Amino acid sequence: MLFNKKKTQNCVIIGSGPAGYSAAIYTARADMNPLLFTGFQPGGQLTTTTDVDNYLGFPEGINGIDFMKNCRMQAERFNTKIINESVNRVILSNKKGGIHRIFFDQKKCIESRGLIIATGSRPKFLGINKEKKFLGLGVSFCATCDGFFHKEKDVAVIGGGDSALEEASYLAKICRKVYLIVRKDYFKASKILQCRILKKKNINILFYSNVTEIIGGNFLEGIKIFNKKNKKNRTILISGLFIAIGHTPNTEIFKNELDLNEKGYIIVEKGKTITSKPGVFAAGDVQDPDYRQAITSAGTGCMAALDLEKYYLLQT
């Protein structure tokens, strides 16, 4: 959709996942005429999910790609201007009511009084063959999203931190057996989580272990594991592989412009989406290392839109 690059915008949104589109719908309905950049992965991580089964309002579930298409169409219905480009640089104002500069398509630039960042995060991969091929076909990064599809089956979780143990604990409630694959000989997770895991009879902990191969034709069927202590290989037949070795927030272009925490997530005021720069707000996984759910991301997208609207009201 065409837009006037010379005109200062009221609202620019970076990111096209649930947070970005939710922010677009709310800002559009508030007559802020939002302009949304889709980024390098239009639709966000949900486009790599076969079925979204836990989003409110879809009793039969919905395909991840179809869900994000619906989000885009709803945003467009309220005249959100959608730009299929990635933002590669920002210069943010320190002043209230200041103008933020957003660069894209090499050296093109637009200006805006309000900015909502919804660039999300990306999971850390193992870096082995078939890992990306089987995303949504057995390989997952979210037990609460996809665990239900493996009910009463055998699965594996990779990782030794809090996220991995939380995933394993959740899966142990619904799966027949859970293999917890840990690269070192100890957990990095909190003691309370370790105690909880050790009490689960259907969790089989494999220390000193790495996944070396993913097995399957059209979908995941199993994995090969190498034990560094006894130097032995092992094949495990599973229906689901949950990788929980961390996420990386997509905040590289904001490093020198916004306050980030030690893991690179944008810092926001507690219970708000307000960042360290006036008129700049963050929503979704880019500021949320804990929940990482479509529904919570959409909720913070709504919050960012309302926070931006309030920001404008306080200036009048």
179 forms beta bridges with: 156, 204
The residue from 51, 146, 154, 307 that is catalytic is 146
Residues 6+ apart with CB under 8 A from 191: none
What average pLDDT does range 169-189 have in this prediction?
95
Tokens 């009793």 appear where? 59
Instruction: Judge whether 163 and 246 are in contact, CB under 8 Å.
Output: yes
Q: Which residue in 11, 51, 71, 145 is the catalytic one? A: 145
Q: Across residues 14-23, what is the average pLDDT?
A: 97
Residue 316 has pLDDT above 80, yes or no: no
* Residue 91 to residue 8: CA distance in whole angstroms: 14
**Rounded distance between C-alpha atoms, residue 287 and residue 249, angstroms:** 8
Distance CA 11, CA 97 (A): 12
Reply yes or no on whether 142 is catalytic.
yes
Percent of the chain clearing pLDDT 90 (strictly above): 83
How is residue 307 written in tokens?
């926070």
* pLDDT above 90 (res 50): no
pLDDT at 199: 94
Q: How far apart are CA 241 and CA 158, in angstroms?
A: 8
How are beta strands 121-123 and 35-37 bridged, if at all? unpaired
* List 11, 51, 71, 142, catalytic entry: 142
Q: Starting at the edge strand that comes first in sequence, how are the strands of the sheet with 222-227 ordered?
A: 209-215, 222-227, 232-237
Concerning whether 145 is annotated as a catalytic residue, the answer is: yes
- Poorest-pLDDT segment among 12-21, 47-56, 160-169: 47-56
pLDDT for 3: 55
Mean pLDDT of 67-74: 96
Buried b (16+ CB within 10 A) or exposed e, 7-45: eebbbbbbbbbbbbbbbbbbbbebebbbbbbbbebbbbb
Is 120 a residue whose pLDDT tops 50? yes
- 40 pLDDT higher than 90: no
pLDDT value at 1 more than 60: no
Give catalytic status of residue 288 as yes or no.
Answer: no
Contact in structure between 118 and 282 (CB atoms under 8 Å)? yes
Q: pLDDT value at position 2?
A: 46
